[in-house]
Amino acid sequence: MFGQYGIQALSGGELLFGHLEMLRLTINRKIDEKRMFAVWGVEAPWKSKSRRSQGKRMGGGKAEIHHYVTPVKVGRIIVELGGYLDWREAYRLLSRPADNLPFPARFVSQELLDTESRIEAYINAHNVNPFADPRRALYHNYAGCREFISPYHLEWGDTKYH
């Protein structure tokens, strides 16, 4: 959003309220409010999770709500840090909270994300692998791949057929 520094999720997962509170307290404790600011990239926990108590018999309908979570997808920026600060200071502030999250996460800067997108664009432009574009492979039925998908994947161009 602001294009400076942040924490990026490397795999999908769920954040509990305690994880968000740990991030908030760690960042607020170390941040200099006159020079820096932090912006959340995820919303508060909203997805309910139910759980039965241990030793309880099965059946009886859905269990009561136990807690709430925030689902996080791969590549999502969880928190962003901006203002007047350099790379070392931002790394010192965000690297430890990134290691304490329940899924793999890393410290990123806008320059790093731009470099990665340029490398990915170069690889896509110079790739000669016919399976690199899943839509093309589905359309031409490479290796009989249409056997494993439904007609809706072809109609809607959905490449995530898992």
Q: Which domain holds residue 37?
A: 5-52+62-123
| Whether 75 contacts 9, CB under 8 Å | yes
Could you tell me which residue, 124 or 102, shows the higher pLDDT? 102
Reference 139, options 125, 124, 129, 153; nearest CA is 153
Rounded Cα distance, 67 and 62, in Å: 14
> How many domains does the chain divide into?
2
| Whether 106 contacts 7, CB under 8 Å | yes
| Whether 97 contacts 26, CB under 8 Å | yes
Structure tokens at 103: 């899924």
Q: Is position 161 within any domain?
A: no
Percentage of residues in the chain having pLDDT higher than 90: 64
For 68-100, the pLDDT digits (tens) are: 999 999 999 999 999 999 999 999 999 999 999
Residue 107 and residue 148 share a domain:
no
Residue 95 and residue 144 share a domain:
no
For 10-34, the pLDDT digits (tens) are: 999 999 999 999 999 999 999 999 9
Q: Is position 86 within any domain?
A: yes
